[in-house]
Amino acid sequence: MAKQEDKIQEEITQEEMDAQATEQVEGQEETPQEPTWEEKYNELNDKYLRLYSDFDNFRKRNIKEKADLISNAGAGVIKDLLPILDDFERAIKSNATTEDVNGLKEGFELIANKMNNILSSKGLKMMESKETAFDADLHEAITNIPAPTEELKGKVVDVIENGYYLNDKVLRYAKVVVGQ
């Protein structure tokens, strides 16, 4: 009887083990498999290639936009200066037929004022250099002359070419004569 009980016990144990093995196999099929290293590599490589491609497209688009901006940068200023060019053409035509010198002078002064106003609106400002202390950061000394008065020593006596600022940055240095 002990042998029969042992046999029955072995059969029950064997059935339980088979049932557990079946459950484990079924459980493995239900859970998703871990991606292999090759699949992970391919996925990451694909993401990298897409990101690199997006960046390359961004870089090319940015270069093109900068080139367009540079090539068209002066268009606004030139468009604003076209009426002045028209005024000069009219003044030249009028100069050929008129005898009124005062009228010509007045016309050219109006054109010059119009041009100064347009350039001022774009941020251009003329330097005030005459009778100021010589500053190598703002002035270019053409020559030195004896100062006419004691107070003009080391100061600008004459301005040969005016200097200009564009938005508070020196655009052109003033060419000046300095008193010694």
- CB-based contact 145:124 (threshold 8 Å): no
3-state secondary structure of 180: coil
Report which secondary-structure segment, H or E, holds 170. Answer: strand 169-172
| Burial annotation 136-150 (CB, 10 A radius, 16+ → b, else e) | eebbeeeeeeeeeee
- Check pLDDT > 70 for residue 20: no
Q: Which two tokens stand for residue 158?
A: 């004459």
Based on its alpha-carbon atoms, the radius of gyration of the chain, rounded to whole angstroms, reads 44
Check if the beta carbon of residue 134 is closer than 8 Å to that of residue 156. yes
The per-residue pLDDT for range 46-79, each reduced to its tens digit, is 999 999 999 999 999 999 999 988 888 888 888 9
> Domains of the chain: which residue ranges?
125-180
129-143 pLDDT, tens digit per residue, is 999 999 999 999 999
Chain position carrying tokens 């099929």: 29
Distances (CA, A) of 80 to 67, 92, 119: 22, 20, 9
C-alpha span between 7 and 57 (Å, rounded): 76
145 - beta bridge partners? 179
Separation CA 90–CA 97 (nearest Å): 11
What is the tens place of the pLDDT at every residue in 96-154?
A: 888 888 888 898 999 999 999 999 998 999 999 999 999 999 999 999 999 888 898 98
Residue 174 has pLDDT above 80, yes or no: yes
Give the pLDDT confidence score for residue 13 in this predicted structure: 66
Q: Which CATH number fits domain 125-180: 1.10.630.10, 2.60.40.10, 2.30.22.10, 3.90.45.10?
A: 2.30.22.10
